Chains A and B, each alone.
Chain A
Amino acid sequence: MDVSIVIAYAAAWICLIAGMCYALSKKEGRQS
């Protein structure tokens, strides 16, 4: 498999996790 394809798959999951962390941090920030 091309490295560029593996990077795209990995970048998608990283982006998803970063977005979810941001959403969770906003949630915690509001509660505190």
Chain B
Amino acid sequence: MTIAIVLGVYIAAMLAIGFSCRNARNAKDFLLAGGTLGPVLLSMSFVATYFSTSSLLGGGGSGYLFGFGFSAYLFFFHVLFAVLAWVIVAPRLRRVVQEEGILTVPQFFRHQFNSRVIQVIAALIIVVFFQLYMSSIYKGASNLLEITMGVSYPAGVAIVAIPVVTYTCMGGFRSVVITDLIQGIILLAGGVLLFGTIVVSMGGIGAGLARLASTPIGGGLTGEALMRLGATGPKELVDSGMMTPFLLSLTFAISVAQIASPQLIIRFFAAKDPGTVRKGMLLTPLLIAIFAFCVFSSGPFAHLFVQGIRDPDLVIPSLMRCVFPGWVSTLLLVAAIAAAMSTLSSTLMVAASSLTQDLLGNSSVPLTRLAVLGTGVIAPLIALRPIGIIVTIVGLSFSVISSVYLVPLLAGLYCHRPSRRAAIASMVASATTCVIWQLLVFRRLPVYPVVPGIIVSAFAYLSTDIVERTLAPKGAEEGAE
């Protein structure tokens, strides 16, 4: 009952924010909050969008199964790509989009590569794969509501979907970032509180590690195995020695999204000025490091508090119930729902803007609101009938989005004369590689498709660019499509 009241108050607050931001004057106002975001809003919005329910529950829960090796490398890649996103991508991207009046990521590709084809490919990937990505977030959040509140699965989907679509539709990007701020504060406070409480109840990290080393964790192993890289996890992977490549590619695949995901880099478009980006460069990696360290490191220590959990998504909720009084764990479970909502609203906003701005070529605010409503309905419907293959598709969609965008984005930012043929070749090659790898290779070689996807993408771009420059007559200029 308590969680229903807290969740009800929280959802009412989100809807009130959406209502208060309803007066968008033009497309820039609706899609980028007028390009007026300061450093705190920008950083918190980036953090809240990046960390979804799967980071909070899946990140901590997988640490419980795979040990400190998973937690440490996930933490390292999170910090590395947060720093790279803000140092390499943010300053240049903001400068280009502000100078040229660009409103979406596919529009940036069109401008840099002088190609409508690239804009359409980029927009189609967003519209299609984001629906699958959002459906997995709905599924995670609804499962959590099912367990904690006892509501039915479809009711859980509706409880999350209706407020998200409503406040995004009313308030656009401005309501998304303001709700992100609140959701980010809840999320960070929840992560720090969880880890702090665990450390205090263990009597310090050193004492906790010593106790964990002799604690049985199932399968005839003790906690000492959690402190060795690749020593715990699915038996066939551990026995075949493939656990370490699996862990490294998994943690890389999750973290690299920060540097190339459209729903994250769109935040750089909305920065008020260069000073805002510099302050964000300081603040965002710090916030990401604090959350990642606290939540991911809590997973292995959870063996001291809760034993025998097989579903990784249940580890953090069970840990919360064990170490906190009822009302605190209620607040923290709302943090997990907040994490889902912040990611959903940002992803929905990008999907809707790609549909109207990039595919339909229309920048009217009412049509974009209609697109938010239309695209916002599809993902919950997919989540209502989750098919077995959805896990594969979601893993694939995450890999496709990161690997398709990364190389053309960096080329568009840093090459003197970026090649549109090379960009198209790299996008098509990386998407194809990800699909083939996921369907045919992944079972035998458990390396996530994003890794070969990025390698093939870079190779395709460079080789096409070199061939093009070699064959092109001197002084020839590319024409626009």
Contact = CB atoms under 8 A, between A and B. Distances in A.
B76 A20 contact: no
Contact of A12 (B75, B278, B279, B281): B75
A26 B92 CA distance: 14
Interface string B55-86: 00000000000001100110110111011001
B68 A12 contact: no
Given A1-B227, A15-B83, A23 B76 contact: no
A5 B72 contact: yes
Given A20-B282, A23-B282, A4 B83 contact: no
A19 to B, nearest CB: 3
Nearest to B274: A30
Interface in B196-213: 209
A23 to B, nearest CB: 4
Interface string A5-32: 1101101110110111011101100100
B242 interface: no
| Interface-centre pick from B68, B76, B229, B275 (highest chain A CB count, 10 A) | B76
A11 B76 CA distance: 7
B87 interface: yes
Interface residues of A, number: 21
A19 B283 CA distance: 10
B323 interface: no
B408 interface: no
A4 B69 contact: yes
Contact of A16 (B68, B69, B279, B286): B286
Interface in B262-299: 274-275, 278-279, 281-282, 285-286, 289, 293
B285 A19 contact: yes
A4 B69 CA distance: 8
A32 B211 CA distance: 53
B229 A23 contact: no
B228 interface: yes
A2 B228 contact: yes
A12 B79 contact: yes
A12 B76 contact: yes
A26 B279 CA distance: 10
Given A2-B228, A12-B80, A30-B278, A22 B87 contact: yes
Contacts of A6: 72
Contacts of A15: 76, 79-80, 83
Nearest to B84: A19
Contact of A24 (B82, B274, B275, B282): B282
Contacts of B83: 15-16, 18-19
Contacts of A20: 282, 285-286
B68 A1 contact: yes
B59 to A, nearest CB: 14
A18 B227 CA distance: 27
A23 B91 CA distance: 11
Given A12-B76, A16-B83, A19-B86, A5 B227 contact: yes
Contacts of B78: 12
A19 B75 CA distance: 15
B73 A8 contact: yes
Interface in B81-123: 82-83, 86-87
A4 B76 CA distance: 12
A6 to B, nearest CB: 8
Nearest to A22: B87
Contacts of A12: 72, 75-76, 78-80, 289, 293
B69 A2 contact: yes
B244 to A, nearest CB: 9
Contacts of A16: 79, 83, 285-286, 289
**8 cross-chain pairs, A with B, having the tightest CB-CB distances, nearest first:** A19-B83, A8-B72, A23-B281, A12-B76, A23-B282, A12-B79, A1-B227, A8-B76
Given A5-B229, A18-B83, 16 more contacts: A1-B209, A2-B68, A2-B69, A2-B227, A5-B72, A5-B227, A9-B72, A9-B76, A11-B76, A12-B76, A13-B289, A16-B83, A16-B285, A19-B281, A22-B87, A23-B282
19 contacts: A1-B227, A2-B68, A2-B227, A2-B228, A4-B69, A5-B227, A9-B76, A12-B79, A12-B80, A15-B79, A15-B80, A19-B281, A23-B86, A23-B278, A23-B282, A26-B278, A26-B281, A30-B275, A30-B278
